[in-house]
Structure 1
């Protein structure tokens, strides 16, 4: 009875609450409507007064009220206004944040929208995605831009079908994004599709074909097909004049593009004529301060430089600086530079200007003052690149930026080298290095030439920038005390993205897609889009909720000479190489010494020599191997020998070109008798060698999640006596590795003898899922398996596990890729990649080889052993067993590996470098 009364009382309360809620809703609706008027008035006022930050804040406030009132057409229309306002006012980062948060609600909004306005809402939303894509593109985040552009096209096709001008517009936008991502074939398909759609429309709408025409011209221009580019630019110009008139923005753009073609084919008068027409139109529309004006001044500067008129050229570069900067006005003093890089309209154009100006200052003459000004200009360009990196969330966008700016660091290094030739009293004061994040030097480095120190800084900035930032980010997440649950959420999202990306990659292998394939592919693309959106938003949320994380993430560490000296032991020297097109720079650092050496070289010839020497090693050719090996010694080691006399170990930071060079197999004497490899004077007889991608990474104090090991050794050997059943591009290439089973079992016995915990898994039990689950527990992890490149992506081969967890989809197809390794929880002190090509991967300029080892460097693994080439499993097993045996006797990791290799030299059967020199160790400094 009491229960009945209680229930009746609750229902009565519910009725009262419902009535109150309805009344509250009406009150809130009135309040939000009045607030909407207020925010609208404020946003209009600040837009008119050009108070940009405040305008964006009130526009966003206005939109929140529209959403609450469920006025969805106005909501997405206003979002579009916000996006375009952010684009127009160069507030790209702020615009991205607003649109990213607001578009979260798009699926939920669509469910609440009445059928009568659903199409209108979707139409507005589609354009918001297009503007979102533009904001990412202007921030140099081309991969993120691609996601939004694909969504734009999907919505346009869904709303209008294929043969509609709005759909054609979407194909043009997508083509632009594909071109920016260097996916030229996809871009060409998009432009041709758009052109075909436009030409099938009414006569009035056919004029829109000006858009694919101009972009086809840009595509062929970038590909170096200048005749085709000029053809399309002229066609686009004719259509633009007919449709829009002679004064339109697109006409100005076409004149600019035509001028660019004439410049490349050295028709300078015609180029200048086209630029003059474009400049007149642009100035009439925008005035002197605008990025389009800066772009034109850059091009005119390039024209005068190619005409050997450096005086004229540098004046135009100075004008470009002024046009691209809000509060910088000095066009007279060619040495003047803007100081506030937050005051820039378009970063990309500024970077182009700074690099061109610095280069031209050196061309004017090589007097000390011009060198100093070039140095300061490169300093500013360096700060700008750091600023540009802050807005990038994805590795692919980071890599694209790195390859673009790599040559700048080489040129800056060359300027420092030339300045170092002046007497110390004549050198410019560089005490304000804090502006470029150079750590304070200790008293030991004060005796060194300051430009050598600065040259080392630029050498480091030009190496593994993306990997260094990723490692800093991973460490920052732990130092900032971000909860493990949040980090696990990040890993899950990233793992799911990788899963759907792998599924989409499989469609690329098919020549033709069935209807079922197309439906499934679209579903996977939608899933990936949503997951990427959530992942990017999670990263932004972390930066907002954890200020310490933001600060740590963007304080990327660059090792100084003093830092290196403090960490080196008395018997170790660090050698860093940088190879430009015509110079080899060698930096040698010991506890108490620092020196820089420069040699004239031909990079292309050196690359061929290294390839031939590697072929000599693989083919067993003594006659060519010995003299080449000695030439490498004279080039890379002999000039530094005075600093290496009492050293036992060399930590080498190679240029990407030298990453595949087995330094320990270099020959240290000339005229060596052939035929007795066991007596050859290999470099390893004098020094042990370890490598690392950069000195900064080697020194970085990497914060790691609970780096305590519950087990000692894990040995994994799939063996592959039975071929994996799952189909894939790489499966038929997996040869059996019968000796790997003996390898891991023998090492297992060594650990057992020492009463240490050890586990070995062999054969079909070594699945990818099992590997992911076990790896976090062990101090030493030994992979005796194949390494391979699948579509230029490095991976380790295991048996597939076809069990799919729908709540946490992962790639368990037997290929543990580099991207998946980035996503692991990992604690190991040492990883060994035996038999496989752990050093193979795509070479990205400024970043180095994108090998599987990058994943373990990112995870903070202090010691990594890998192979430069495929090693016979029998010989790999022999060397690895000796290595672990030496370790069991108390030898350090690097000494144990060196002694194992030296023991191979004692026998004529195993002394040839093919059998031992491929094994290489990466090792961080303690």
Structure 2
């Protein structure tokens, strides 16, 4: 019964019955107690009680090691469970350690081509992807794919899932054409196995839409989201939560297009469904309030944004308690509004509330802690407290280097932020050094045409322009423009911005020439 409740996500009932099972199991054999701890650990993990989950999983592991020995498949499943908690906590090195323990046992006991081995390779791939180690992730996914192709054939749904995961990596790398190729392979299998109107087909259309949105091909993205919506409306009805999710995705595109009224309309459709299906106080309602707030924030309607964020916060505090990581996220969002309002002390107060929760729940070295230090650094930057800003950015950098390695794209972002401070301080050589460190990582990890590369070329160009190195500035702006044209097409608003920047260089150059000529004339008169 505990397992049945667990599968239905009725976690309180599952935990209750697993406790009853634990008491009964004590009267039977010890190893059965471990299975009760497994279920309790599952429940706690799904409720984001990661410390409690680790405690239960480790109790289970110790019983299994004592009763079954170190080379049993049940033991390797416990290593997997522990690894999954570490993965949820963002402790990637610890997760890899546990997954590799599981893998070693499986490789020793099972055939090399067992589908369970493929599953472990897949999980390791997920960790590498989150670490930004995209080549390693692809290697693991391809190992998983090779086994599944051999064991399951070319048209098994597990093959489609792996193509989907590979697509996700390519999307993160900015290799959008490759991502689309993988998603379309996944789509073809799913259509063959499930027909044209299965919800999984809708999910694939959704992933394709995300790529188009990342490319700035908003009309194509909307087309895919609407295909997804049509299937889900037919298969699931007008009030299914998947419909609400699709309305959210469509709203996100409208938001990126600056069509804020259309975005709000879709968010409200989503909200209506969620309120009907989930009631007033479900965390998903809080998420929709959050999304609505982001639109108001972008519109500069700061009071409306704060009102929505506070509605979201109220629900989360009621449903999740004071110290849930999602509470920290909302404090973060509120802080960003205060920052934009120039209410820097209020912003710092909110960021520090967020930081306290994250440190309690995730430890001092989680990437989310690094993000919070980064945001505090931004406030100090806006206040002109450049030394304090650099201190925060360097704290952020230290954590990221430890947790993510030297070449993660997030490291590039931090180098970029440090460079921005140097740029404001007029330390142009230091700024260029940091921007170039950022650029080197981005080119290695993301390829030549990723939007982040575009941003870095733009930043380098701005330094050259300030230094009066107009030819170098034009070269960088044109590189930036080339990426924008490739990724976004001729008519995206960002293209207009690039042309304006190039025109500004010519204007600054012409002005400097006029000043030079004027000064020259004065010297000879």
Whether the TM-score (by the shorter chain) exceeds 0.5 is: yes
2:464–2:473: 8 Å Cα contact kept in structure 1?
Answer: yes
Q: Which of 344, 353, 372 matches 1:268?
A: 344
With over 3 angstroms needed to count, the CA separation of the structure-2 counterparts of 1:65 and 1:163, relative to structure 1, is farther
SS at match of 2:509: strand
2:174–2:447: 8 Å Cα contact kept in structure 1?
Answer: no
With over 3 angstroms needed to count, the CA separation of the structure-2 counterparts of 1:108 and 1:640, relative to structure 1, is farther
SS at match of 1:246: coil
Partner of 1:126: 202
Distance 2:137 2:210 in 1: 19
User: Is the counterpart of residue 162 in structure 1 residue 241 in structure 2?
Assistant: no
2:296–2:304: 8 Å Cα contact kept in structure 1?
Answer: yes
Q: With the length of structure 2 as denominator, give the TM-score of the two structures.
A: 0.61
Distance 2:430 2:172 in 1: 30
With over 3 angstroms needed to count, the CA separation of the structure-2 counterparts of 1:359 and 1:208, relative to structure 1, is closer
Partner of 2:247: 171
- Greater shift, 126-135 or 252-261, is seen at 126-135
Q: Which of 338, 357, 361 matches 2:422?
A: 361
Partner of 1:411: 462
1:141–1:392: 8 Å Cα contact kept in structure 2?
Answer: no
With over 3 angstroms needed to count, the CA separation of the structure-2 counterparts of 1:67 and 1:95, relative to structure 1, is farther
User: Is the counterpart of residue 376 in structure 1 residue 301 in structure 2?
Assistant: no
Distance 2:173 2:435 in 1: 25
Matches within 5 A, 1:421-820: 452=469, 455-463=470-478, 465-467=480-482, 579=504, 584-586=507-509, 598=512
User: Is the counterpart of residue 344 in structure 1 residue 420 in structure 2?
Assistant: no
Question: How far has the Cα of 1:55 moved from its partner?
Answer: 2.2
1:35–1:65: 8 Å Cα contact kept in structure 2?
Answer: no
2:251–2:264: 8 Å Cα contact kept in structure 1?
Answer: yes
User: Is the counterpart of residue 199 in structure 1 residue 275 in structure 2?
Assistant: yes
With over 3 angstroms needed to count, the CA separation of the structure-2 counterparts of 1:391 and 1:66, relative to structure 1, is farther
2:191–2:201: 8 Å Cα contact kept in structure 1?
Answer: no
Question: How far has the Cα of 1:230 moved from its partner?
Answer: 0.4
Partner of 1:676: none
Question: How far has the Cα of 1:159 moved from its partner?
Answer: 2.3
Matches within 5 A, 1:80-229: 86=169, 92=173, 97=178, 100-104=181-185, 106-107=187-188, 109-113=190-194, 122-131=198-207, 133=209, 143=218, 148-203=224-279, 207-229=283-305
Distance 1:585 1:301 in 2: 31
Specify every segment of 5 or more residues in structure 2 that has no aligned partner in the other structure, as ranges: 1-110, 491-500
Distance 2:207 2:341 in 1: 35
With over 3 angstroms needed to count, the CA separation of the structure-2 counterparts of 1:269 and 1:328, relative to structure 1, is same
With over 3 angstroms needed to count, the CA separation of the structure-2 counterparts of 1:269 and 1:205, relative to structure 1, is closer
Distance 1:45 1:311 in 2: 39
Distance 1:62 1:34 in 2: 5
2:439–2:453: 8 Å Cα contact kept in structure 1?
Answer: no
Q: With the length of structure 1 as denominator, give the TM-score of the two structures.
A: 0.37
Matches within 5 A, 1:38-117: 38-40=117-119, 42-43=121-122, 52-62=137-147, 64=149, 68=153, 70-72=155-157, 74-76=158-160, 86=169, 92=173, 97=178, 100-104=181-185, 106-107=187-188, 109-113=190-194
Question: How far has the Cα of 1:218 moved from its partner?
Answer: 0.9
User: Is the counterpart of residue 281 in structure 1 residue 281 in structure 2?
Assistant: no
Distance 2:138 2:365 in 1: 19
- List per-residue Cα deviations over 1:577-597 (Å, max 9, x = no partner): 7526xx94328xxxxxxxxx7
Distance 1:46 1:328 in 2: 15
- List per-residue Cα deviations over 1:265-306 (Å, max 9, x = no partner): 233232112111222333455556665444322321121223
CA RMSD across the alignment: 4.6
Distance 2:367 2:114 in 1: 36
Question: How far has the Cα of 1:179 moved from its partner?
Answer: 2.1
With over 3 angstroms needed to count, the CA separation of the structure-2 counterparts of 1:131 and 1:287, relative to structure 1, is farther
Q: How many residues align?
A: 394
SS at match of 2:249: helix
Distance 2:188 2:294 in 1: 36
Question: How far has the Cα of 1:386 moved from its partner?
Answer: 5.6
Question: How far has the Cα of 1:258 moved from its partner?
Answer: 0.4
SS at match of 2:437: helix
SS at match of 1:585: helix
Distance 1:66 1:206 in 2: 42
Question: How far has the Cα of 1:251 moved from its partner?
Answer: 1.9
2:148–2:159: 8 Å Cα contact kept in structure 1?
Answer: yes
With over 3 angstroms needed to count, the CA separation of the structure-2 counterparts of 1:111 and 1:463, relative to structure 1, is closer
